[in-house]
Amino acid sequence: MPELPEVETMRRGLFPIVGGKIRSVIEPDIPYRPIKIDPSFQELERRTVGCVVREVNRIAKRVLVVLDSGDSIVMQPKMAGIAMLWPPPNELHLRIVFELENAASDRFVYWDRRGLGTVSLWTPKQVDLYLGPNQLGPDASVVDQDTFVSRFAGLDREVKVALLDQKLVSGIGNLYAAEILHAARVHPSLRCAAISKMKWKQIHAETVRILTQAIEQEGSTLSDGTYRNAINGEGKYQNQHLVYDRAGEPCRTCTKGSIVRMVQGQRSTFFCPVCQRKKR
């Protein structure tokens, strides 16, 4: 589930590790299938022990711990992962531990309840190859209006599905796409080409506004409680959700409609058929 606001919250939460020297790397023995580590754990350990954390960055939905060697530890949370400080929610799903010295925090970890995420160690060339502009669009939280509109307007695709395409803009996932389109009062199955330039400008404004607000509130912790911030606390933006996971409930915006769930591209979409009336 972690999307741009949640991963940005993880990034900011890891700031206490900056300046720390990696003393050891541990792969805990747990009763679940291991996550993907690339290269092997042994190679990752060899290339990181003794390195100093220079900075913590984010690209799209990944956290990058940049080392003084130039390599980056790239953590991709996917459905249920967290890049965080110690302690984790529990040690049953603890996938990898980096122990530090000379830092405000003596450990950072990658924890993953479902084991679908990945931890990679990439050179600058690999970061550019896999996460550069040929692979990912501009960051959705800061992309300028003209760039945003030019990438979507005219496409013969459903708008909700297009917003999830990381090559167009990066960072938007299922949850925030639903909230953005509701705020802009756009039906999620409307074709991009059928949306006016003026309405696209509104979608852009709502994208930046909602993602910014969600970051300020440290993301959304859903009913399963999986997502936590870097110090094992809950996000708060779930209290602002107007449509996501609210099927059958009254619309808080118009108070006339009820939230509907439909499936697009094998993903659940939530919207209000009154606020987001589809053009005929």
As annotated, the active-site residues are 2-3, 61, 267
What angle in degrees, to the nearest 10, is found between the helix axes of 197-216 and 4-13?
Answer: 30
Q: Give the closest residue to 265 by CA, choosing from 132, 173, 160.
A: 160
- Distance linking the first and last C-alpha atoms of the chain: 33
1 close to 173: Cβ distance less than 8 angstroms = yes
Longest dimension (CA), the chain: 63
- The DSSP 8-state label assigned to residue 8 in this structure reads H
Place of tokens 């399963």: 224
Q: Are 98 and 48 in contact (CB under 8 A)?
A: yes
Distance CA 76, CA 205 (A): 27
Q: Which of 117, 59, 53 is nearest to 85 (CA)?
A: 53
Residue type for position 263: V
DSSP string computed for 81-134:
EEEEESSPS-STTEEEEEEEESSSSSEEEEEESSS--EEEEE-HHHHHHHHSTT
